[in-house]
Structure 1
Amino acid sequence: MNAPSSTPAAADVIAATEQWLLQAVIGLNLCPFAKAVQVKRQIRWVVSDATDAEGLQAQLQDELQRLADTDPAVVETTLLIHPRVMGDFLDFNDFLDIADGTIEALGLEGVLQVASFHPDYQFADSDPDDVANCTNRSPYPTLHLLRESSIEAAIDSLADPDEIYERNIETLQRLGPEGWRQLWVGPATDPAADPR
């Protein structure tokens, strides 16, 4: 889904993103670690009002520092959703270098990292219609701020971390594009904010 011409209210943006988290990320078990932080309410949900890269970078900087300064038992991870900027996937992809530079400038390399989700996410060398891209497709452009220590602990708990990626691809190929679309048919879904 592309950001609509009239930007939805923050509550609607969060609702659509939470539905995606529950139905796709947790529901399809695309990330086996997401359920615990959702159940414990350790996710910070932030809807950015930034309309340009500079504004988004400033807010990203604030949120990275806030996460670094906050007890993981209170906030484990942050979703910085930005419906007003980076609607074009290529611009968004370019911004990820700025995000990495911001982490470095804050001295948080090895402490925090940013994962990326976008309505038009496309892995390098993949076809735009490849259903595997859906592993990183979200209702709105989203920067997911993660703690490196939590990622390492989660990976250490797995016999084969590569199995997650491989299983996700198999799950989505079984589901297919139509099955992916069917995830969003329901009373909570706003057709204007329908993820693909």
Structure 2
Amino acid sequence: MKEENQLLIQHTDNWVKRVIMKYNICPFARQEVENESIRYVVFEDKKISRIADKLIEEYQYMDTHPEAETSLVILPNGFNHFNRYLEAVYLAEDLINELDYEGTYQIASFHPEYCFEGEDFDSPTNFTNRAPYPTLHIIREASIEKALETYSEPESIPQRNKAFADKKGAQFFIELLKNCAKSD
């Protein structure tokens, strides 16, 4: 693996551990970190058509590797602008439908410029979905269903995250993301 890709994966892993897990942004992340069941992959391609091929390969990988509970697909080239990145998100979701994976996988999206509809760009709320790099998160639906069985009021997670982000402020998250590029 290229050294550059190893750094991208390390920074993303730091983000999962130092932001998502540490601050309980996703209450289900800790188990996957502890089980080492998160797969990290880097797609270097810039073209949507090539990303489609890679996503198909990743869905197929997930089919045959149940030990990979979830996959974080890092897109470091050509998807830095949020609107361009959204094309990759829509493609990933369309492929799930086209390949008959609906009910098997779903996509969550993270991006350095993530902006929820109706939010100002600088709103702290956006930082709950901001990552060091454009990232598609492939999640097994069965895992979500299983996790939700033991979680009281899962619908409260987004509101809880919004309140936490608003309390901490944007600068707090800017520093957290900056620190993800640092080694342990």
Could you tell me which residue of structure 1 aligns to residue 176 of structure 2? 183
Determine which of 136, 150, 164 is the counterpart of 1:157. Answer: 150
Distance 1:187 1:29 in 2: 16
TM (normalized to structure 2)? Answer: 0.92
Is 1:133 equivalent to 2:123 in the alignment?
no
Is 1:104 equivalent to 2:97 in the alignment?
yes
Amino acid in structure 1 at the alignment position of 2:135: T
Is 1:91 equivalent to 2:84 in the alignment?
yes
CA positional deviation for 1:187: 9.1
Determine which of 7, 14, 18 is the counterpart of 1:12. Answer: 7
Determine which of 52, 58, 67 is the counterpart of 2:62. Answer: 67
SS of the aligned residue for 1:9 comes to: helix
Question: Which ranges of structure 2 fall in alignment gaps of 5 or more residues?
Answer: none
SS of the aligned residue for 2:169 comes to: helix
SS of the aligned residue for 1:124 comes to: coil
CA positional deviation for 1:52: 1.2
- The one-character-per-residue Cα deviations of 1:67-97 (angstroms, maximum 9, x if unpaired) are 12222xx210111101012111011113322
Could you tell me which residue of structure 1 aligns to residue 45 of structure 2? 50
SS of the aligned residue for 2:77 comes to: coil
Amino acid in structure 2 at the alignment position of 1:21: V
The range that moved more, 132-141 or 180-189, is 180-189
CA positional deviation for 1:115: 0.8
Amino acid in structure 2 at the alignment position of 1:171: F
Task: Give 1 or 2: higher helix fraction.
Answer: 2
Q: In 2 relative to 1, CA 83–188 (structure 1 residues): closer, same or farther, beyond 3 Å?
A: closer
Question: Which ranges of structure 1 fall in alignment gaps of 5 or more residues?
Answer: 1-7, 191-196
Amino acid in structure 2 at the alignment position of 1:34: A
C-alpha contact 2:11 2:182 (8 A) present in aligned 1: yes
Distance 2:13 2:87 in 1: 26
Amino acid in structure 1 at the alignment position of 2:90: D
**How many pairs does the alignment contain?**
181
Distance 1:185 1:52 in 2: 28
SS of the aligned residue for 2:171 comes to: helix
SS of the aligned residue for 1:183 comes to: helix
